[in-house]
Structure formats: C-alpha cells, structure tokens
Structure 1
C-alpha cells in the first residue's frame, strides 16, 4: 500500500529546491514505489517556523547555512523544544556544531531518493506512532487531562491543600503513569535487550538501586544493589543507610572464550546458558547498550560498600545508566537468593550410605 509522506524542506538555493522537486516527481511517478512524497519549501527560518506551527509534517530536512546570516539551527532548536518529529540536516558543510545527535546528510554523498527513503524509514520505525506529536501517548495524555484532571479540578485542588509541592508532583506522576500503563495490552513474555536500561535517566542525579557506576580510577563498572528503602533520602538529604552496596560488573570475556575463530554450537550454547542466568548462581547478565555500556555479568562474589557522600559528588564514580525497574527486581531477587542460600550440613556420606545399606539388607 502506497503511503504519502508530507515533509518540510528548508533550503534557500533555488537549484537545490529544483533538484529535490525533480526527485520527488520522479519517485512519485514510479509505479513500484511504495513511498510517495509531498514537499513544502521554506527559504528562511521565519517561514519554516510558521509552517511548523500551522501544518503537520512527517519529517523535516534542514539546510544549516541559509542566506543573510540565517541559520537552520533556529529550526532545530524549535523542533527540539516543541516537537517530536524526525528531522535531518541536508548540508554541503560536513562540520555541524551542537547537532551531532541529528542525522546529517552531506549533499555530495547522497542521492535525494536515498535520503527521502531513509526519512520514510524513520517515520515507519514505530516510535512516532507511540511518542510522536499525534501518537498514542500524546492523545492519551490529552484525554486524561480533559476527562479526568481538569474535569475533577476541584477535587485535585482539595488534594493539593493537604500535600506539599513535591508530594503533589509525585502523586500526579504516579497517577499519570498508572493510566499510561493501561495502554499495554498485557505483560510481555519476551523483552528486547534495549529495554533493560533507562536512558536518558531522568533522575540520574541521585543514587538509586540499579544505577550503574564507573570507577574513574580503575575503569571498573559497578551496580548499586542496596535495597530502595535504604536509599530513600531523609529530611537531611541523607539515606537511611550511609554505606551503599556496590557489586562489580565483569566483562563478557571473563566467562566466554575469545579464542574461537568461528561461532560453534557449543559456544552459542555456553553464551545462552550465561545470559539466561542459569549457568552460574553468582552471575547476572546485563546486555550492552549502544556505546554507553558494553554489558557484562554482575558477580555477586565481588561486593563492596561505598559511602553515600563519595557516590554523590561524582569525583570518584560517574553515573552511567540505570537498570529498568523490572530487571532491578529480578536482579535483587537472585542477589538475595544467593546470599540466603543454605547448604546442607556435611556428613560422612560413605559411612551413612553403608549404614543404610546394611539395614536394608538385614531387613530381608
């Protein structure tokens, strides 16, 4: 089924506009082309901002250097502040300041058809169906606001009168999250590795259970495994327990041979047992997460404590990322089971076995 993509092209060079327009017309005429495009052109940042305010676009292509000292950075800043829409830089200049997280196409290196199909792929990634300007979350929040919060505003005012500002904020957050959670059809039986972590971590300014830290001196990674109740801050902004439990995260190659030159069934089987957390009772697998964290195994046998003050000032440890709560619970459960395990007391088993055997034989 053919899908139409409306996009805003911010460009001040007429020949570039004509070239893009020709590419769009050619792609739209191609009978087997799944994607068709409708282009709106803005030659300066003022016109671009007006179009963004009045129209719905699937994506935006931006030339950074516009005439008269104008800059595409203005549009990028506006999109970052007010919109959730795919955008990319289409520029003849390879060095772009402060925009390295936005995809950049150098004009001489890409064909327009390739760029447009790439942008269509971003739109179709599934992200914007959920978190886009007109995605599920945005529409659900609007519905919650009008049909619950604002409809019952007098009740919310009464609640606010009995709570301080921080308590009220936490209440509204909990209430909103619980409603968004209802959007899930059911609990998933299978997760993707990317779901293991929270990134960016909105509350990474504090020390929380599941926070992964990098020891800046040794280069060793640790994970905070003090229970949440021990980390709750009191009125003096200190936790209940001053000393925080840290458990070392070891690299994959500590348990997986790196000498293999091919991926054998035995190697795959070994890795599968490790990542299922059923090979060694003292290990818990953590996936990698892009270039932020390489992953590894939490080793319950390598445990130490560090003071809350040391962990809070960022001089010795850097906070990297936080484990998602579902996995925090799983990790804490295995950690607790490991240290609560009770081995059977030793006996002289050969002697016991002989004694039982003698009784059985004599009874016949």
Structure 2
C-alpha cells in the first residue's frame, strides 16, 4: 500500500521549484519504501498561511523572501512561526537570505527545524530523504495537526465528555479546568493503549524517559547527577510535591529529605567494584547474572536501559541515601522515568524493602517424605 507524504513547498522562484520537483519525481519512481511525495506549492506567505490552516501536511520546505515583498521583509518567517505555534510537522528552511531569519526561530530548540543556505550547493534529494525518514516513524500521523490524537480528542469530546458534562460541571470553578484536563488525559491514554497493529509488544527505550524533565523543579523518577555520580529519586510523589518556591529559589515540599537510590553503570569495572560479578566468572556465569537482572529476578537491582546520551545503569536498592531538599537543586536533572515504568520501579523497591526470610526447614526430610507419598504403587 502506497503512503502519501504531503509536502508544502513555499517558494516563489520557478527555477528553484523545478529542482525540487525533479528530485521528487526521481524519488517517487523508486517505490521500494511505498511512500509517494505529493506537493502543494505556494509563492507567497498569505497563501501558504491559508494552506496550512486548511490542509494537513507532513512537512514543509520554506524560503524566506517570497513573492510580492521587499528583500528585507522575509515573510517566510510568518509561515514558519505559524507552524511552530499551531501545527506539528518538520520544517526545512532553504534560502539564500538566512540572515533574515528571525532570532527566535534561529534559537528555537528543535532539530525538526533545519536551515540550508541555498548558495552552499544544497542536496535537495537528501532533504527529501530526511523528510521521508521522519515520515516513516509515524510522527506526523500520530502527532500531526490532524493526526490520531486529534481524532481521539474529538471522540472524547462528543462521545464521553458530552455525556458526563453535567456531573463535571458540578465541580468548583477553580478545579474544573484541572478536572477536565485529567479527564481528557485518562480517556486519551485508554484510546492510545488500544492503538496497536500487533506487530510489536515491546516498548522502545525512548518511551522509558521524559527528556528533558517536564516537572519544573523535582519529580519522583528524576535521573540526577553530580560529580559523575548518578542517582534516581525514589521518594513518594506526595513527598516531593512542590508546595512553594521561596523568593531565594529554595523549595518547600512535604518532606524534609529526598530519597535517592544510587545508579551503577553497566560496565565491567563497576560490576566488579560492587561485587555483582567476580573477576574469574566465565562468560556463561556473567550471562546468567545479567539475565536475572534484566528479568527482574535479583531483588536489589532494577535496570534502566540506555537511550540517547543516557547510559544503561542499575538502580541499587540496597544502598539508598537521603539529602536535604535544597541540596537537590545542586544536581543536574538529566531525565525523568515515565510513569508506567516508574510504577514498576516503585513496586520492586517496595517488595525489596518488605521482603523477609522464610523460616528454614530440613528440606531433605521433606523431600524424602513427600517422595514416598507421591511415588507410584
């Protein structure tokens, strides 16, 4: 089945536009990836703004200086800003006047905004291939301006919220917006849990972390570091809820201390130092130990997978530490473990702390006794 990648090209120069169409025609002839690029072209910012308001796109290539304007107007900035404010698809800026790009766009912190100087022998086919690679992930299908999330939000509004409106309306004015937000998120989570084509039952490590952290100051599940030492915040969420940020920037939370579990890098020297493996252990023994840790069969450890610049580490439940609340801000917050995975970590920590030894019996006597009972006549 051929998928259609809808591309907006905002370009007033016909010769420049022909370079795009030539590259697109060549890519479309090769249908091995089953993706066909469909182009919508606009020559000025007004028409481009109308297009992105009425059509769904998977990406845009935008020039800065467009038809019907003076050289210093660079109305392509308006189109870029509209996408950033109201839509969700990657932008490729191709222009011979990148000096006219507005500072807030230049400094926008996203690799989904890429600039190319037209005078630097731009490889148009490479831009289009990069766009196709982004499209293959399904990002625009799920999160695009009229993607799957929007479809489900529409269902939540008409099929759920409309029926529950009178009950929700009884909440106080102060809490009604928060109630509605939580209501929408819980329903959306249920819808997205059903979104599966059955091809994969495994999570990607990107789903494990929220990076950078969303909570502004502190959160349970924070991965933090200081002086090349790493920890995870395993305090109960109610303990670290921020009640007040003082004028000096210090925090007031429900607890006096924050509970941290140290993280052990998945490296041979670290495992040797902590006694997880021994220097003379053969490869099969090491494989067995790693297997037990990954499968959650060693109570005192939990694995944090590697992702991006976060290296794989073990949570060490046996050597927890506490720090003062306001020491927390001296640490670097690298990421936060996402909620569904954090629940598992907290559950395993609770199980580890609550474990107790089973009173021992003479197992050899029991084995002999029950063997005689169960053996055939």
Q: TM-score, normalised by structure 2?
A: 0.74
Q: Secondary structure at the match of 1:47?
A: helix
- How far, CA to CA, are the matches of 1:149 and 1:186 in structure 2? 21
Cα-to-partner distance string for 1:262-316 (whole Å, 9 max, x where unaligned): xx777666544433333x432211112313x3231111233221222332xx3x1
- Residue 133 (1) aligns with residue 145 (2): yes
- How far, CA to CA, are the matches of 1:113 and 1:265 in structure 2? 48
Alignment match, 1:251: 265
Q: Secondary structure at the match of 2:188?
A: helix
Cα-to-partner distance string for 1:232-290 (whole Å, 9 max, x where unaligned): 45689843321111111122211289xxxxxx777666544433333x43221111231
- How far, CA to CA, are the matches of 1:288 and 1:54 in structure 2? 41
Contact 2:224–2:333 under 8 Å retained in 1: yes
Q: Secondary structure at the match of 1:68?
A: coil
Alignment match, 1:300: 317
Alignment match, 1:89: 93
- How far, CA to CA, are the matches of 1:219 and 1:94 in structure 2? 40
The count of aligned residue pairs is 337
Of residues 216, 229, 244, the one that matches 1:220 is 229
The CA deviation at 1:82 is 0.2
- How far, CA to CA, are the matches of 2:206 and 2:31 in structure 1? 38
- Residue 21 (1) aligns with residue 21 (2): yes
- How far, CA to CA, are the matches of 1:31 and 1:308 in structure 2? 58
The CA deviation at 1:126 is 2.0
Over 3 Å counting, the alpha-carbon distance change for 1:12 and 1:303 in structure 2 is same
- How far, CA to CA, are the matches of 1:155 and 1:246 in structure 2? 41
Coordinate RMSD, CA, aligned: 3.9
Of residues 287, 294, 314, the one that matches 1:275 is 294
Over 3 Å counting, the alpha-carbon distance change for 1:8 and 1:330 in structure 2 is same
Contact 2:58–2:144 under 8 Å retained in 1: no
Alignment match, 2:114: 104
- How far, CA to CA, are the matches of 2:61 and 2:49 in structure 1? 13
- How far, CA to CA, are the matches of 1:33 and 1:201 in structure 2? 35
- How far, CA to CA, are the matches of 2:115 and 2:291 in structure 1? 39
Which stretches in structure 1 are left out of the alignment for 5+ residues? Answer: 258-263
Q: Secondary structure at the match of 1:19?
A: helix
- What does 1:47-66 align with in structure 2 at a 5 Å threshold? 47-64=47-64
Of residues 135, 140, 152, the one that matches 1:123 is 135
Q: Secondary structure at the match of 1:230?
A: coil
Q: Secondary structure at the match of 1:301?
A: helix
Contact 1:251–1:296 under 8 Å retained in 2: yes
- Residue 171 (1) aligns with residue 179 (2): yes
- Residue 284 (1) aligns with residue 290 (2): no
Of residues 62, 80, 84, the one that matches 1:80 is 84
Cα-to-partner distance string for 1:203-230 (whole Å, 9 max, x where unaligned): x214222122222xx2322111112233
Q: TM-score, normalised by structure 1?
A: 0.76
- Residue 329 (1) aligns with residue 343 (2): yes
Alignment match, 2:372: none
Over 3 Å counting, the alpha-carbon distance change for 1:219 and 1:123 in structure 2 is same
Alignment match, 2:216: 205
Which stretches in structure 2 are left out of the alignment for 5+ residues? Answer: 246-250, 274-282, 370-377
- Residue 145 (1) aligns with residue 165 (2): no
The CA deviation at 1:338 is 2.5
